[in-house]
Amino acid sequence: MNIGDQLLSEGPLELCGRSMREYGEIIRAGMLWKDRRAMEKIDYAVKHLVIRLLRSEDREELLKAYDDLRRLIPWRYEALAGDYWVRWRTCADLIDFHLQALVTRDQEAAARMKYAPEVLQLVGSEPRLSRAAIARRLSVSPIVLSRVLSILEANGLIERGSHMGRRVYLLANRSRQ
C-alpha cells in the first residue's frame, strides 16, 4: 500500500495523531502534490492540529510546530502545492502570532510596547472602534495593528465585541478601573 492509499484509509483520529514533521516527510516521500484526496486529508489534519496548538501554552511545542509547518512544503515545490502552500504558511503565521502573545504575557510590558499606549488611549476615549478605524487613526499598518491588538487582548487589556454587526474593540473591564 503506498503512502497516499494509507492516508486515505486513515480516519480523523489517526490523521490528527501524526505530527507536522511526519506530514512533511509523507508529502516529500510520496510526492503527493497531484493526489488531491491525500492532500485534502493532510489539510484536514493540519487545520485540526493548528486549532489544538492555538490553545496550547507550551512554547517548545509551538516553536517545533511552527518550524515544521514552515518546512511542510519546501519553497521549490510551492507551485505544485498550490493553495495548500499558502494555507499552511498562514497557519504557521497564526502559530507565530500566538507565540508572540505568549511571550508578552505581562500586562505592563504589553501596555508599553510600540503603539500599545496609543491604542489603549484611543480605545478608551472612543469605544467601539473597528480594527480598520484604529489603523487609520493611528496611521499603523493593519498587520502591525493586528499583532498589537492580539497581544493587548491576550493580556486582558482590551476586549473584542460586536456593535451593529461590526467587530469592535473596548477596554477590558479590569483596565477601566
pLDDT given at position 42: 83
How many distinct structural domains can be found in the chain? Answer: 2
- CA-CA distance, 2 to 39, in Å (whole number)? 14
* Amino acid sitting at position 98: H
Tell whether 149 and 165 lie within a shared domain: yes
Least Cα distance to 42 among 63, 16, 68 occurs for 16
Q: For residue 146, what is the domain's CATH number?
A: 1.10.10.10
One domain for residues 8 and 79 = yes
Question: What pTM value is reported for the model?
Answer: 0.55
**How much is the pLDDT for 171?**
84
State in Å, rounded, how far the first CA of the chain is from the last one: 64
Q: What pLDDT is stored for residue 106 in this prediction?
A: 74
pLDDT the model gives residue 121: 92
pLDDT on residue 7: 66
In this structure, are 13 and 71 located in the same domain? yes
C-alpha 56/C-alpha 78 separation (Å) is 28
| Domain of 165, in residue numbers | 107-176
Residues 40 and 76 in one domain: yes
Cβ 120 vs Cβ 171: under 8 Å: yes
Q: What does the pLDDT read at residue 4?
A: 59
Contacts of 94 (CB under 8 A, 6+ apart): 50, 54
Spatial distance between the Cα atoms of 73 and 86, rounded to a whole number of angstroms? 10
Last residue of a domain, one of 103, 120, 143: 103
pLDDT, residue 3, reads 62
146 and 134 within one domain: yes
**Low pLDDT (below 50) residues in the chain:** 174-177
Buried/exposed 117-152: b ≥16 CB within 10 Å, e otherwise: eebbebbeeeeebebeebbeebebeeeebebbbbbb
> What integer pLDDT is reported at residue 38 of this predicted model?
79
Q: Are 76 and 119 part of one and the same domain?
A: no
